[in-house]
Structure 1
């Protein structure tokens, strides 16, 4: 039986504002170790894609589980567009960060099974199963046993199980984990198509490129609290100018020497990675020379534009992910 089918019911009432797929008010779900989420308020409108970003343990998965009716909030309310929690489950799709399908089933059988839990017409189930397997590039392996699938294929299968019945609200935990670039691109297209049909999606992901591509709004979570919720363009507009150089250094590195280089705007260190914001192409060579000075050894240089992970760092004072 699915986790959604086993979940306890939550009280749901009609939204009082614009059409919403789900609304949370004063939601709290904390564990004995203090981790979890809340208090938090969050709305997801019909046709909207919202991304949750935050460090491991910040409450992203806990929030998804509560919105999916798998976990009860300790305080607060969750509302699903006027439907009861029991009725809402037929319109929910949940893919947690894992792949738990029975290895003896084929990919088609597994997807068909989950779709049939919410769609009664057998022909419609078959059609939706074929469609989602094709969208997630699993058609050629659809009749192979799941036990033969790679991790990435199992992750795509978990997404197919969550999305096959075309839920009004999909809740996806780390959906790009294990996906190759083609798989990520297919998922972006699928989410875009869902939005065009008025379906809503909530993704928990620290994949900044993916989030910028799919999200209408991004919710930064830190220690279970909502730090900022805005569109990617609004968040990125607040970033300082310049580019970012990530220098992977063995040994010591004199950050003060990097900070005084012409064109350098800011320097921080996260483990073995020195992150420098800079302007000007000539600054790159100076950064490399300074990082490779006696006492340290430059192992790798990565250049990129500032992204949502940098904005998270600005707002919270610590990195979105530990880098090594």
Structure 2
């Protein structure tokens, strides 16, 4: 793994990459669960002595005391992270409400659904108001209402000065929150910057990938205003800054040339298209 990462207070950094790219490994190194083969981790937040009480972590796997209630679990993790005893009840109660667990607070965790366990895990990561919050696929198992609530909670954490590093395949979630995005592939950063910086590298063109029968194909020369055929070696790839408004003209030109159309794929500028172009891979669905 060859990654240089510096995170400022209040900054939200998103890690974007395929499965096995190294996102979870990086989070576990920051958490001091794994030791890097080379390089250093600098900062008092990450010392073995005090780092854990200043960090919050929610991974892909839930880890709770299943025989205890949700609120008992939350109290335990709050105290373990150093929250003063007189502050615990108020902090836990507030977060239970925010993450949508108030009605299940007094139920044993063994009776929780997967989504409820995920909410409790996020609560436990947040309850001590960490200075550095590490999240691995935080929206997995969340319904749309809970996902929106998490978005609001993380914005508030950022505004209050918490640095957040999160890995996710949820592109809409990343687009709403991330100040900076690192595209990771095979343990290295292949592209990084703000959303505006990264998306500007794509230009504003919409791409149409049209699958055609190539048995007897003779392509026309003109496909409409501001439409360019950029690749005809396989599926036909068109680019246009007119968006999907250009599609009828492309279609008409192909049909008039008696080209047999087999399929269409539309690629709008966005994080998914950025990732595909810089890595040559598709993100997991």
TM-score, length basis structure 1: 0.73
Shift of 1:304: 7.3
Correspondences of 1:1-324 after superposition (within 5 Å): 38-81=1-44, 84-243=47-206, 253-254=211-212, 262=224, 263=227, 279-281=243-245, 283=247, 305-321=268-284
Shift of 1:80: 2.4
Gaps of 5+ in 1: 1-37, 248-252, 269-273
Contact 1:255 1:267 (C-alpha < 8 Å) held by counterparts: no
Contact 2:68 2:108 (C-alpha < 8 Å) held by counterparts: yes
Gaps of 5+ in 2: none
Once residues 304 and 195 of structure 1 are traced to their aligned partners in structure 2, the CA distance between those partners, rounded to angstroms, is 32
Once residues 246 and 261 of structure 2 are traced to their aligned partners in structure 1, the CA distance between those partners, rounded to angstroms, is 23
Cα distance, 1:124–1:255 mapped onto 2, change above 3 Å? farther
Contact 2:212 2:260 (C-alpha < 8 Å) held by counterparts: no
Structure number with the higher helix fraction is: 2
Secondary structure at 1:77 match in 2: coil
Once residues 162 and 275 of structure 1 are traced to their aligned partners in structure 2, the CA distance between those partners, rounded to angstroms, is 45
User: RMSD between aligned alpha carbons?
Assistant: 3.3
Q: Deviations over 1:73-95 (max 9, x none)?
A: 12111122476322111101111
Secondary structure at 1:203 match in 2: strand
Shift of 1:303: 6.6
Contact 2:45 2:55 (C-alpha < 8 Å) held by counterparts: no
Cα distance, 1:95–1:280 mapped onto 2, change above 3 Å? closer
Once residues 48 and 138 of structure 1 are traced to their aligned partners in structure 2, the CA distance between those partners, rounded to angstroms, is 27
Compare CA radii of gyration and give the structure with the larger one: 2
Structure number with the higher strand fraction is: 1
Once residues 74 and 84 of structure 2 are traced to their aligned partners in structure 1, the CA distance between those partners, rounded to angstroms, is 15
Once residues 145 and 209 of structure 2 are traced to their aligned partners in structure 1, the CA distance between those partners, rounded to angstroms, is 26
TM-score, length basis structure 2: 0.82
Once residues 45 and 138 of structure 2 are traced to their aligned partners in structure 1, the CA distance between those partners, rounded to angstroms, is 28
Alignment length, in residue pairs? 271
Once residues 139 and 121 of structure 1 are traced to their aligned partners in structure 2, the CA distance between those partners, rounded to angstroms, is 22
Once residues 246 and 139 of structure 1 are traced to their aligned partners in structure 2, the CA distance between those partners, rounded to angstroms, is 48
Higher relative contact order (CA 8 A, sep 6+): 2
Once residues 98 and 114 of structure 1 are traced to their aligned partners in structure 2, the CA distance between those partners, rounded to angstroms, is 16
